[in-house]
Structures are given as C-alpha cells and as structure tokens.
Amino acid sequence: MRKTTAVIAALAVAVLAIIIAFDAFRSKPLESSFFSMNTLVTAEVEGGEAENCLAEIKSTLENLDYNILSRTAKGSAVYKLNQSGEALLDKQTAEYFSALADISRQSGGAFDFTLGAVSDLWDFGGTPSMPDEAELARALSHSGFEKISIGDSKISLNDKKAVIDFGASGKGIALDSIKACLEANETKRAVVSVGGSVLLYGEGEFAVGIRNPRGGSGSSIATLGITEGCVSTSGSYEQYFEQNGKRYHHIIDPETGYPVDNGLISVTVISESGLLSDALSTACFVLGIEEGSRLAEHYGAKVIFITEDNLIYTEDAVRDIITVTDKNYKFGG
C-alpha cells in the first residue's frame, strides 16, 4: 500500500515537472533582431504563432519601406511622389498620410514632412555640415503642409520642388503594422523596437527605459512602468555635428530651416498608436514644453520633456509611472 502511494506520488511529481517544463518552453519569448528601414529592429514575441509572426514582422517592414516610405527605393510611393509629383495610395497608407497631415495642421506646421530638401542640405544621415544660407532659404520656400494634397487613393505635390520625408513617423507607422501582425498571429505578449520607437503589446506591465541623452544607446536615466502602448523618443543626440561649441542636430525648426534650439535634448511620447507617438515626439520637440504638452493632450498622448540642464518635465499622472534612476536628472517645474 505504502509502495503504491510512493509510486503515485513520484508519478504526480514527474507529471508536474513535465507540465512546468512544457509551460516554461511555451511561454519563453522568441527573439529576433535585424536591420530594416535603416535602423535596428529587435523583437521579442511570446505565445500564439510567434515564429510565423516574427517572419511576418520582417516582411511587413520590408514592404512598408520598399513600397511606401523609402526615399531611395524606386518603387516606393514616396520616391514616385518626389520624382513625379504624385503617387497612388492604398487605403491604409492614405489613412496614415492623412493622420500625419492632421498633425501638421494641429502643430501649426511644427511637424512638417515636406522638409526633405532642407534635411538633404544638412545631410545628418550622411556627412553633415552647415548649409549655404541662400540654398537653405530656397529649400525652405518649397516646404509647408499646404504644398501637398492627400485624397483617398492619391497623394500629390502642389509644388513640384517640395520633397517629402516621413523620417519622423515611419518607425511609428511600422509599429502599427507590427501590431496587426501580432494580433493576426494570436500572440500573447511582445516587445518590438524600431529605432527610437517601441511597441509594448499584450498582457501585464512593461518597464521601458528612457535613454540617457548624454550616454550610449544602452544607458537610461529613468524607467517607465506602462501597460500596452507605444513609446517614442526624439533626441538631439541621434544625428548631429558640433561646430564652435554648438550642436546642430537633425530635428529642424520649419520656421527657420535650422535645428531646433529651445533647450530640449529629448522628448518621449506615450500613445496607443505608433504613428502618433513617433510623429508627436518630433512635433513636441519642435514646439517646446508648453505648446508641445497642449498638442500631446489634443491627441490623448503623454509627453516627457528633458532639458539640457537635466530637468524632466511632465504631468503629475506621468510622474507617478516614472522611476528616475540617474541622480543627475530631476523633475522640474
């Protein structure tokens, strides 16, 4: 009798061990990292058809880049638009572009995806240098959101010299497409980052670091505790050069054509939508703390500003979810 009990107990332990092992195996996230859209993509996906999902994420980003957003791939909508003055759009892309045009209007033109010719002169992605003033003024005169018309199936330039550049929002749009892959593959939980934008998807809480604006890509100054959503950061540390002790970086003030010089070094936006978090992080950087906060509120997004004197500005509700981990940074205001 005692022997039977021992055997049953041993069997129960073995079955439990198998269940635990299986569960651990099942709930271990699959990881992948690769380059796409000119940046590093890292993905951790758990549950459902995770493997298939990772493959779909990769192909989705390639399609998005080569067919729609790339400025250099000859088949992309943006390339055709910049070359010929118009391009056909599928319904989803037309919706993305209309949403961006709305942000341009709501930000009073601070968010401006027609600044391509100005950005090209600065060449922050290549060999940056101070552009010629007259050339800069000329490029700037061909920018502005009134230079573009967006219909349900077509986008066209009203000024053939305007150059479209979705660099400030492409990575966020990528996150929204990735979310659709995660849903279609019934995954449980995922963390996917595309450059400075990250998607938190599924069950539970997530800890997201805010990058140290003066440190390397691995160091952070604070941690955000959030549930599902997208977090994007725009920083003056991403692409820049220094001349006579002054930093010139890749976020341009559309009023002047020169890099924004308003005391901010980093702006982080939290939103349900990747398009919004990415576009608004750039827009709020240009607008500064007061107007940027108003713009974020209009879109139901949260915003965190960091100034060059190491002060963090945000609303009280966001302070509650931030843990500052670097003693050099403090809340301001």
Binding site for ligand AMP (CB under 6 A): 111-113, 115, 119, 124, 165, 167-168, 196, 234, 238, 250-252, 254, 278, 281-282, 286
Closer residue to Mg ion (CB): 50 or 208: 208
C-beta separation of 308 from 265 below 8 A: yes
In whole angstroms, what is the distance from residue 75 CA to residue 141 CA? Answer: 27
Q: Which of 69, 278, 306, 329 binds Mg ion (CB under 5 A)?
A: 278
Q: Is 252 helix (H, G, I), strand (E, B) or coil?
A: strand
In this structure, the chain runs to a length of 333
Nearest distance in Å: CB 281, ligand AMP: 6
Query: Minimum distance from CB of 186 to ligand AMP (Å)?
Result: 31
- Backbone phi, then psi, for 303, in 5-degree steps? -135, 140
109 DSSP assignment: T
**Window 166-205: contact mask with Mg ion (x via CB under 5 A):** --x-------------------------------------
> Is 281 one of the binding residues for Mg ion (CB under 5 A)?
yes
Least CB distance from residue 229 to Mg ion, whole Å? Answer: 15
Enumerate long-range contacts of 202-205, CB under 8 Å, 24 or more apart.
Answer: 202/46, 202/47, 202/228
Cα-flanking dihedrals φ and ψ of residue 307, to 5°? -95, 165
Q: Are 219 and 212 in contact (CB under 8 A)?
A: yes
d(CA 99, CA 119): 22
* Residue 307 binding: pick among ligand AMP, Mg ion, none (C-beta 5-8 Å cut-off by kind): none
Contact partner, 288, from ligand AMP, Mg ion, none, Cβ < 5-8 Å per class: none
Q: Supply the minimum distance, in Å, between the C-beta of residue 291 and ligand AMP.
A: 13
Residues of this chain that bind Mg ion (CB under 5 A):
168, 234, 278, 281-282
